Structure 1
Amino acid sequence: MAAPRLDRALVARTALDLLSDLGLDGLTLRAIATELGVKAPALYWHFKDKQALLDEMATEMMRRMFTDPPGEEPPDDRDWREMITRSMGGLRDHLLRYRDGAKVYSGSRFTDTAYAGAMDASLGVLVAGGFTPARAARAWVTAYHYTIGFVIEEQSLASAPDRASLDLAVRAERLARYPLAAQAGYELFDHQDEGFDAGLAAVVAGIEITLLPKDAERP
């Protein structure tokens, strides 16, 4: 059987498959080339460096998020608060499918415009809700940055070599002189789903207070 034609899409898909085993730090062009049965220099015809590969990987993740939605069609949100909450929750769920998925996304630049339609629609909901286009963009990116940052920390904690040995009761005892810091451990290291939702609710509330124009400010 002939080997599949080597192209950017195949390299990115192979890299995403290896990501779960190797993690981002262990994902090298050499490892990908070995998996594909080629020499590492062959990959440089398609990607000038690892960041270029990460850009394509992030783009492939984004394509999958839009083309393989889990379950039923998402609701047609009219309320901007519900839209942000659902969109960022969906982004977190998708990033968690990949080891170090949020690190791949962070700082990457999409290599095509497949994201633009969904982004435009989301900004449209914000504008319809009373935001100026500039403030709509700021609201969206604020929630986006919160989500990416939360998942980076969440995934880093989950993959830490000493994670299994993290005993919160022992931690609290060690920090007995600092009762608030000791108690904070239960919030910081447990119940990630609830923690994400609570933080996102705070972000949405802050967006409404600081970015949504008041009636007197609207034209």
Structure 2
Amino acid sequence: MVKVATTPLDRTRVARAALKLLNETGLEGLSLRAIAKELDVKAPALYWHFKDKQALLDEMATEMLRRMNEELAADEQPDTEWPDALSAALRGLRRHLLMYRDGAKVYSGTRFTDMSYAAPMEAHLRMLTGGGFTPGAAARAWLTGYSYTIGYVIEEQSMGPDPVKEEGGYDLAARAERLAAYPLAAAAGDEMFRDYDAGFEKGLAAVVAGIGATMRDAPGA
């Protein structure tokens, strides 16, 4: 009998299968049992690599980061001024999170399982310190922009149309009807829950301007 070569089961292979399933099931429907079925193995085999679902999420986020690094490194413009460079990095983060259903929820609150985050973080901080931020202010500036992006995408993926099924999203007409006695709150729905791309850009501009106004020291500091 001829033996058919199979790819060894390791953490990266499991994480890639989980990310594939994520777009089909969403985070709530993702389970080790479903991943095991996708990989054609028994569920207990996965526990050899992951003690629980959180450990799996950590590896999934790390795999997302690895993929992100490969693309964003190719797009880097070394001579870009810090506001444009920071904005581009945060746009790239959002773009990658949106590639996965519930991608921002998976990515947030996890602990990376290797050092994939170190080189891009160092590059971001070097860019900011080169633009006049102290090391501490650079760290705070990056965290502020990062937190805005993660939070925005969590809301976007929760309230916007399902990117896989291309349906759903907030029923703004029903919302406006419920809020008829509160006209400003009712009208806010169009600004908050339509055109997420434009909304992100408006918020990003405000965040970057605020970072420059409140955290930056002086050119060449």
Q: TM-score, normalised by structure 2?
A: 0.89
Conserved in 1, the CA contact under 8 Å of 2:161 and 2:169?
Answer: no
Q: In the alignment, does 2:96 pair up with 1:80?
A: no
TM-fit CA distance, 1:41: 1.2
Q: In 2, Cα distance between the equivalents of 1:25 and 1:134?
A: 37
Where do residues 51-200 of structure 1 align in structure 2 (5 Å cutoff)?
A: 51-69=54-72, 73-158=75-160, 164=168, 166-200=170-204
Where do residues 203-218 of structure 1 align in structure 2 (5 Å cutoff)?
A: 203-213=207-217
Aligned partner letter, 1:43: L
Q: In 2, Cα distance between the equivalents of 1:13 and 1:124?
A: 31
TM-fit CA distance, 1:208: 1.4
Aligned to 1:16: 19
Question: Identity of aligned pairs, percent?
Answer: 60
Q: For residues 108-167 of structure 1, what are the alpha-carbon distances to aligned partners after superposition, in whole Å with 9 as ceiling and x for unaligned?
A: 111111221121111111111111101100000110011001001101113679x73744
Q: In 2, Cα distance between the equivalents of 1:176 and 1:34?
A: 49
Aligned partner letter, 1:195: G
Conserved in 1, the CA contact under 8 Å of 2:161 and 2:170?
Answer: no
Q: For residues 28-51 of structure 1, what are the alpha-carbon distances to aligned partners after superposition, in whole Å with 9 as ceiling and x for unaligned?
A: 111111111111111111011111
TM-fit CA distance, 1:69: 4.8
Aligned partner letter, 1:53: L
Aligned partner letter, 1:51: Q
Structure 2 residue aligned with 1:31, among 31, 34, 37? 34
Conserved in 1, the CA contact under 8 Å of 2:133 and 2:218?
Answer: no
Conserved in 1, the CA contact under 8 Å of 2:62 and 2:112?
Answer: yes
Q: For residues 63-87 of structure 1, what are the alpha-carbon distances to aligned partners after superposition, in whole Å with 9 as ceiling and x for unaligned?
A: 11122459x7332243111111100
The number of aligned residues is 215
After TM superposition, the runs of 4+ consecutive aligned structure 1 residues lying more than 4 A away are: none
TM-fit CA distance, 1:177: 2.0
Q: In 1, Cα distance between the equivalents of 2:197 and 2:161?
A: 17
Aligned partner letter, 2:107: Y
Aligned to 1:3: 6
Farther off after superposition, 73-82 or 59-68: 73-82
SS in 2 for 1:164: coil
